[in-house]
């Protein structure tokens, strides 16, 4: 489902909608969400995510509203749960989209002035209000939760902080029509500069997620994607685990990898490696083997970048094979694999 056209939101399948929702919500939310699904569902959603390049705003709004409305309608979701969900949305979406979906989460709730602003990141709000008159800023902060107001005050220019704090103390009764007019003006500022679509790197998203699952789930998902699109599966694999990530492998596992690597392959792979990676390799070889490797690297002539990339990919595949066989541990693979 490459969303490179204007699809009808109602024509989207369940996995397609789930893919859009999860891409919008971000990596941390998605990792937590996918842990609750079976392998078949992960495979279907993962394929859809990998094919997405951008999502038209109307499609995004429709999908988010559908999901968030379903959350709202669940009788067992508490007020604190809704607040958590609003916070997740605020961190994951742009201001305008976040503001739109808050209404879907909040239902028919009260219309307290500036209530939408409470869930928008402080940095974004500062950019909107910092040019306002100090009295206006003070009025807005007085309506916000104290923690949010404190975050904003902390980010405002130093020279106006005392003035704004004093004005908050001195605020008396303000006519409702003035407050509501200011509220509408701020909301209009939030709406300015909206874009027609949101860009996503679906391949990057799927790669990041698959880096967190266990090896069996990863292979199940990728093998099924490969049946449909071999090039896409290969692209995901390349994004998933890059050569420099081997720096995170413990020394015992790293030495096991080196035992399975041809010396000529290693020399090519090190052509573009960081100094830190080179030192890790030298440090996990015997003094004699490290000396010979250094000599070979010095006398080797220019190598095509493609050959270097292929050599690095071969080493990564060897590491993944050893991990699948249970001979090494690659930390951060979705299992409780912290070494103690």
Q: Is the pLDDT of residue 340 over 90?
A: no
8 three-class SS: coil
Average pLDDT over residues 275-295: 92
Maximum average pLDDT range among 1-15, 22-36, 63-77, 283-297 = 283-297
Q: Does residue 269 carry a pLDDT above 60?
A: yes
- Supply the mean pLDDT for the chain: 74
- pLDDT tens digits along 151-165: 888 888 888 888 887
Closest CA to 198 of 21, 321, 37, 24: 24
Task: Lowest mean pLDDT of 18-27, 174-183, 199-208, 292-301, name the range.
Answer: 199-208
Phi then psi for 144, rounded to 5 degrees?
-85, 155
Tell me how far apart the alpha carbons of residues 334 and 142 are, in angstroms, rounded to a whole number.
44
Band the pLDDT of 197: cuts 50, 70, 90.
very low
**Least confident window among 196-200, 217-221, 262-266:** 196-200
DSSP structure class, residue 116: G
Nearest to 319 by CA among 263, 264, 248: 248
Domains in the chain: boundaries: 1-109+200-240, 110-195, 241-340
Q: 50-70 pLDDT, tens per residue?
A: 888 777 777 877 777 777 666
Please say whether the beta carbons of 8 and 62 come within 8 A. Answer: no
By percentage, how much of the chain surpasses pLDDT 70?
A: 72
Cα–Cα distance for residue pair 247/249, rounded to 1 Å: 6
**Tell me: the pLDDT tens digits for 69-114?**
665 454 444 444 455 555 555 555 555 555 555 555 554 444 566 7
Domain at 110-195, CATH class:
mainly alpha
pLDDT computed for residue 201 by the predictor: 64
Same fold, 110-195 and 241-340: yes
Q: Quickly state the pLDDT bin for 282 (edges 50, 70, 90).
A: very high
| CATH fold group of domain 241-340 | Annexin V; domain 1 (1.10.220)
Residue 222 near residue 43 (C-beta atoms within 8 A): no
- For residue 271, what are its two tokens? 């052509």
Choose the most confident range, by mean pLDDT, from 154-163, 166-175, 205-214.
154-163
């Amino acid at each position: 489902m490459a969303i490179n056209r204007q699809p009808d939101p109602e024509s989207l399948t369940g996995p397609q909608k789930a893919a859009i929702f999860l891409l919008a919500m971000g990596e941390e939310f998605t990792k937590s969400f996918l842990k609750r699904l079976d392998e078949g569902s992960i495979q279907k959603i993962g394929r859809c995510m990998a094919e997405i390049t951008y999502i038209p705003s109307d499609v995004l709004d429709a999908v988010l509203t559908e999901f968030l409305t379903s959350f709202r309608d669940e009788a067992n979701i508490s007020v604190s749960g809704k607040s958590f969900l609003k916070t997740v949305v605020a961190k994951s979406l742009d201001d305008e989209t976040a503001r739109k979906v808050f209404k879907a989460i909040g239902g028919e709730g009260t219309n307290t002035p500036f209530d939408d602003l409470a869930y928008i990141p402080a940095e974004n709000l500062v950019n909107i209000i910092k040019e306002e008159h100090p009295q206006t800023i003070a009025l807005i902060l007085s309506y916000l939760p104290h923690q949010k107001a404190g975050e904003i005050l902390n980010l405002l220019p130093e020279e106006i902080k005392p003035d704004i704090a004093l004005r908050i103390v001195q605020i008396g009764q303000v006519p409702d029509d003035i407050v509501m007019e200011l509220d509408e003006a701020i909301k209009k500022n939030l709406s300015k500069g909206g874009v027609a679509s949101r860009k996503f790197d679906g391949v990057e998203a799927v790669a990041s997620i698959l880096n967190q699952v266990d090896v069996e789930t990863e292979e199940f998902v990728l093998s099924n994607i490969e049946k449909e699109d071999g090039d896409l599966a290969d692209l995901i694999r390349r994004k998933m685990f890059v050569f420099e990530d081997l720096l995170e492998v413990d020394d015992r596992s790293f030495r096991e990898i080196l035992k399975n690597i041809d010396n000529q392959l290693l020399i090519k792979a090190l052509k573009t490696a960081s100094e830190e990676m080179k030192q890790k390799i030298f440090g996990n070889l015997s003094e004699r083997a490290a000396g010979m490797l250094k000599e070979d690297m010095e006398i080797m002539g220019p190598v095509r970048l493609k050959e270097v990339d292929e050599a690095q990919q071969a080493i990564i595949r060897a590491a993944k094979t050893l991990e699948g066989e249970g001979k090494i541990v690659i930390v951060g693979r979705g299992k409780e694999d912290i070494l103690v």
